[in-house]
Amino acid sequence: MEIDQGVVDALQHAKHVLVFTGAGVSAESGIPTFRDALSGLWARFDPAALATREAFRRDPSFVWGWYEWRRMQVYKAQPNLAHRAIAELSANVAKLTLITQNVDDLHERAGSIDVIHLHGSLSTPRCFACARFAVEPLPPPDEPIEGRHLEPPRCGHCGGKLRPGVVWFGESLPTQALAQSFAAAKDCDVLLSVGTSGVVEPAAQIPDIAWRAGATVVHINPDTKGVRGAREFWLEGRASEVLPQLLAKGFRRQRIEFIR
């Protein structure tokens, strides 16, 4: 794949790079996207019907069991070359902000730090009653059986049932994470939008905010993406293929650790 020299130049001269990732990045590690068809017993249930406060209130053990099944999928997965390339990029630019719509910890396991999670995290539950986050992350999951009901752990503060620490349908994105994301979009020189459809609001505003503020916006995705021309590019392909090529071309004089 030929990478436009304008993308390389912008990345080399950037003082602040913002990387904005979506489900396509995690899918390359084998984690099904939320919209993918499920298999087995779970195929009988609509994921959207399980990702609500009403569903948890109605049957908390069933919802917790489903999320533990999802967490086991994440636990077994490994960061791919895209995750590792993003972590390596932070060592080659003056400043990098990483914003993800994914609820897994693959960015952190690849070496990225201070990741902004717009949709929360599977590993950090919070109390359904008092809304406090658990002090400690969840331990590695037991091997869950599909369709199994699992009683949620209890809150150490009020004794209420813990719920998954992700954003459910009908809930707002975390205020602080969203504010940090919009501020980074206004400040960055280059925004890499990786593996995201760019249709889920309000997160979809982030690339547009960056472009209107004068940044170079680069979309990395196998699916066709219309661009506005000036300062906006589309690199067609899988993130695990495009990102290593981009780093190798932009920082060829430096040692790129993830390429072995």
Average the pLDDT over 1-8 and give the result.
Answer: 84
The residues that bridge with 165 in the sheet, in sequence order, are 121
pTM above 0.85, yes or no: yes
Query: Known binding site for Zn(2+): residues?
Result: 127, 130, 155, 158
Mean pLDDT across 178-188: 98
Residues 187 and 228 in one domain: yes
ω into 47 cis (within 30 of 0):
no
Residues 131, 151, single domain; the answer is yes
Beta-strand runs (E) in 41-188: 96-100, 116-117, 120-127, 162-166
Residues 92 and 66 in one domain: no
212 and 126 co-located in one domain = no
Same domain, 1 and 40: no
- pLDDT of 256 reads 45
Q: Where among 166, 184, 200 does a domain terminate? A: 166
Q: Which of 164, 171, 144 is nearest to 72 (CA)?
A: 144
> What is the model's pLDDT at position 242?
95
The domain in which residue 105 lies consists of: 1-30+79-119+173-260
Supply the CATH number for residue 109's domain: 3.40.50.1220
Average pLDDT, stretch 99-113?
A: 96
From the list 16, 119, 157, 219, the catalytic residue is 119
Provide the number of structural domains found in the chain: 2
Place of tokens 């954003």: 167
Spatial separation of the C-alpha atoms in residues 138 and 66, rounded to whole Å: 15
State the CATH number of the domain containing residue 54.
3.30.1600.10
Domain C-terminal end among 133, 166, 199: 166
Domain match, 193 and 225 both: yes
The answer on 200 and 161 residing in a single domain is no
- Total residues belonging to the chain: 260
Q: Provide the pLDDT for residue 229.
A: 75
Beta strand 190-194 with 116-117 is unpaired
Same domain for 147 and 72, yes or no, is yes
Domain boundary, last residue among 111, 143, 166 = 166
Answer for the pair 73, 31: CB distance below 8 angstroms, yes or no: yes
More confident position, 61 or 146: 61
Residue 36 pLDDT class (50, 70, 90 cuts): low
- Same domain for 83 and 69, yes or no, is no
Q: List pLDDT tens digits, range 202-215.
A: 888 999 999 999 99
Mean pLDDT in residue range 18-38: 84
pLDDT at 260 over 50: no
Poorest-pLDDT segment among 8-17, 55-64, 133-142, 152-161:
133-142
Q: Are residues 115 and 159 in the same domain?
A: no
For the segment 231-254, the average pLDDT, to the nearest whole number, is 87
Residue 56 has pLDDT above 90, yes or no: yes
Residue, of 186 and 255, whose pLDDT is higher: 186
Q: Known catalytic residue: 119?
A: yes
Q: List, as residue ranges, the binding site for substrate.
A: 67, 70
